[in-house]
Amino acid sequence: MTTLDLRSLRVRSGEQFRDEQSIELEPFELGGQRYLPVPHEVEGDLTVAQATTGLDLRLAFDVRLHGPCVRCLADAVQDVHIDAREYQANEPGDAEELRSEYVVDDQLELSAWARDAIALALPDQILHAPDCAGLCPVCGKDLNIEPHTHTEETIDSRWSALGELRDRL
Ligand SMILES: [Zn+2]
Ligand SMILES: [Zn+2]
């Protein structure tokens, strides 16, 4: 986990610090599937500005996630662009909105911030292609490779059920 000691930056009021920061990223769980950030260490563009009332924090980076398509389980990649902001007041008191959850004892928790920012930027479903046909719910074959339906068989089984019913009457 990557953290940055904000005190060591010595940013004075009205000044700002801007630099590339290497940030370690952890694998993601989404919908029970595992997604790997590539690269697992990103170069984040971090800006720390000391305003009169508090710190303005900004983090930007690009990352690509590799993992299974939720519909057909083929390899999928998802590109994510992050541009996140946080604010930490000098005297936050008890006000939650004046406090960044990623600033703990003057340490900026970059990995945790990056992880949550990626989670917010992800789509609901990661697909290998926007029009992925998925797996057949009847036989489990990949409908992208073998497009097919089971309409006739479904009808057949309905007819046979009807037939059985008729026999009993
Ligand atoms: Zn797919
Ligand atoms: Zn099928």
Q: Which ligand is nearest to the CA of 130?
A: 1
From the CA of 26, how far away is ligand 1's center (Å)?
24
Cis before 130 (ω within 30): no
What ranges make up the beta strands (E) of the chain?
3-5, 16-24, 28-30, 33-38, 41-50, 54-68, 75-89, 103-104, 107-109
How do residues 39-96 score in pLDDT, each as one tens digit?
899 999 999 999 989 999 999 999 999 999 999 999 999 999 999 999 999 887 777 7
From the CA of 32, how far away is ligand 2's center (Å)?
24
From the CA of 127, how far away is ligand 2's center (Å)?
20
For the entire predicted model, the pTM comes to: 0.79
How do residues 110-155 score in pLDDT, each as one tens digit?
999 999 999 999 988 999 999 999 999 999 999 999 999 997 655 5
Q: Which ligand is nearest to the CA of 134?
A: 1
